[in-house]
Amino acid sequence: MATATEGNTDRAAQWFHALSDPTRLGIVMRLTGGERCVCELTDALDAAQSRLSFHLRVLKDAGLISDRRDGRWVRYSLNREAIEEAGQFLASLKPRRRLKVECCG
């Protein structure tokens, strides 16, 4: 399970940066239904292909999505392992009960 440790905070920062944009979140939400062609995403998000390409690159660089060429089209899908790891990282940040400790006087 991915926990909040110094070793994976850089990776988590990259995930959450990639997910911090409404367009990129829209892309991820649409990919939960399965693989999509870039033209489907363009239509669904009412975005120019050049703008969408930028957002897809950010998500891909963060490891959250992958692509595959299908003839002249490129199809995108979620990287299930990275999404699960990001979810586990978030779950590890859940506040835990602590014993009350006297501090600072």
Give me 34's structure tokens: 């399965």
- Rounded to two decimals, what is the model's pTM? 0.82
Considering the domain delimited by 6-92, tell me its CATH architecture: Orthogonal Bundle (1.10)
pLDDT digits (tens, 9 = 90+) for 39-52: 899 989 988 988 99
Give the span between the Cα atoms of 55 and 5, in whole angstroms: 28
DSSP type of residue 7: G
Q: What is the mean pLDDT of the chain?
A: 88
Q: Count helices and strands (H / E) in the chain.
A: 5, 3
pLDDT digits (tens, 9 = 90+) for 10-30: 999 999 999 999 999 999 999
pLDDT at 97: 75
Domain segments of the chain: what residues?
Answer: 6-92
Q: What is the pLDDT confidence band of residue 93, given thresholds at 50, 70 and 90? A: confident
pLDDT at 7: 61
Are 32 and 83 in contact, with CB atoms under 8 Å apart? no
